[in-house]
């Protein structure tokens, strides 16, 4: 038995194949397997050098980052361990020693 991806619209697990299309019986959405693969590729998060990031990676900050609402700055070369990837504009949740919890943009870090 092949495992079909859930519906991208309603996340229903009851999808089925109809020729080359995948169909959701709950919401009626139709899509192709190629669209599913393209959507998965869009969700990948890359660092400034194009390396794919994953949860738990260690990264280094490549630019001085001023923190809004404070006079603190995250300096170039600061190592950030055990990152967590999230959706949105700031796609990395992390804790920086001496500063605390932060959200960073992946374009300002490189993988170690």
Residue-wise pLDDT tens digits, 15-58:
999 988 999 999 999 988 888 776 666 678 899 999 999 999 99
Mean pLDDT, to the nearest integer, of 78-84? Answer: 95
pTM: 0.64
What integer pLDDT is reported at residue 36 of this predicted model? 74
pLDDT at position 2:
55
List, for residues 82-97, the tens digit of each pLDDT value: 999 987 889 999 999 9
Q: Is the pLDDT of residue 10 over 50?
A: yes
Residue 9 — very low, low, confident or very high, per pLDDT cuts 50/70/90?
A: confident
- At 58, give phi and psi (nearest 5°): -110, 135
- Whether residue 101 has pLDDT greater than 90: yes
Which ranges constitute the DSSP H helices of the chain? 33-42
pLDDT for the residue numbered 1: 41
State in Å, rounded, how far the first CA of the chain is from the last one: 40
Rounded CA separation 112/108 (Å):
13
């Amino acid at each position: 038995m092949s495992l079909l991806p859930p519906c991208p619209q309603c996340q229903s697990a009851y999808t089925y194949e109809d020729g080359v299309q995948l169909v959701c019986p709950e919401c009626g959405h139709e899509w192709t397997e190629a669209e599913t693969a393209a959507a998965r590729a869009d969700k990948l998060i890359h660092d400034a050098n194009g390396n794919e990031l994953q949860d738990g990676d260690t990264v280094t900050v490549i630019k001085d980052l001023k923190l809004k609402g404070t006079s603190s700055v995250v300096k170039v070369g600061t190592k950030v361990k055990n990152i967590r990837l999230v959706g949105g504009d700031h796609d990395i949740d992390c804790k920086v020693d001496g500063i605390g919890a932060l959200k960073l943009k992946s374009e300002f870090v490189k993988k170690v």
